[in-house]
Amino acid sequence: MEQIRVKVLFLYNFQMTKQVQQKILKHYNSLQMMGFEYAPALKTDELNNNDMSLPNNLIDLQALVENCSLCELSKYKTSTVFSEGNIHSPIVFVDVMPSIVQEENNRLLVGKSGELLIKMIENVLNVSYNQFYFANIIKCKTSTKKVPTPHEINCCKPFLTKQLELISPKLIITLGERTYEYLTNDKRNIEQVRGKITKYNHIDVLPIYHPSFLLRNPSAKKEAFHDMLKIKSLMESM
């Protein structure tokens, strides 16, 4: 019987440690002896969201994320925060990245920001927060900095894109300016886009204030309330 030869996609990235590189090469050399082939190396900075062949189910995708070592953040993580909530929800809330508290609890809706978001959902939308799906663009917390690098975003964003493809929501709610920018590549500030429908991969996107911003700026809660009413109206039309 003719031996089936499988091409292995090797994702190279400049920030991978030498130890990790050696482990991968040792593993792939063993595979090559068994009849596997290498595909041409790719740099993750040059990938777009369609270049990575990712699992077509959420369980395997989460397992891949948990074992990811594509960027420096993998060195510092104690866990990954993949998602929370209802995978059948027509609405997905997206944030930038997990906080230390979120990583420690392996949950997204914890801490003061999470508590405020729950109150906003349940008090205005009049449904339990666990009826919705929540995910981050970046799956690991950053080490000491608050802003992920372009490389980290490029490594992790395809995972979220695949999540959204599998969930297939009708509406994405982005929390805060950076989340909206990293998802859509639209660099307008939050005041220019807040409460207005845009598109990402043919899905409606509605940017709103981040709960942490509202904690620092209570005067913006009136506008946030109107944004939540818009979400409620969109829900009722689904």
pTM to 2 decimal places:
0.77
Residue 38 has pLDDT above 60, yes or no: no
Strand blocks (E) in 103-180: 133-136, 171-175
CB 21 within 8 A of CB 31: no
What pLDDT is recorded for position 217? 96
Which pLDDT value is given to residue 53? 80
Query: 16 versus 9: which is more confidently predicted?
Result: 16
How much is the pLDDT for 145? 61
| CATH 3.40.470.10 domain position(s) in the chain | 47-236
Cα–Cα distance list, 66 to 28, 59, 82, 139, 213 (Å): 20, 11, 8, 9, 29
| pLDDT of the residue at 39 | 52
Q: Which amino acid is at 30?
A: S
Topology given in CATH for the domain delimited by 47-236: Uracil-DNA Glycosylase, subunit E (3.40.470)
Contacts of residues 72-79 at CB distance under 8 Å and 24 or more positions apart, as own/partner, are 72/15, 72/143, 72/152, 73/138, 73/140, 73/141, 73/142, 73/143, 73/148, 73/152, 74/140, 75/17, 75/143, 76/140, 76/141, 76/142, 76/143, 77/103, 77/140, 77/141, 78/103, 78/104, 79/103, 79/106
What local confidence, expressed as pLDDT, does residue 47 receive?
45
Q: Which of 10-14, 78-82, 225-229 has the lowest mean pLDDT?
A: 10-14
pLDDT band of residue 37 (cuts 50, 70, 90) is low
Is residue 181 pLDDT above 90, yes or no? yes
| Higher per-residue pLDDT: 75 or 165 | 165
**pLDDT top residue among 17 and 178:** 178
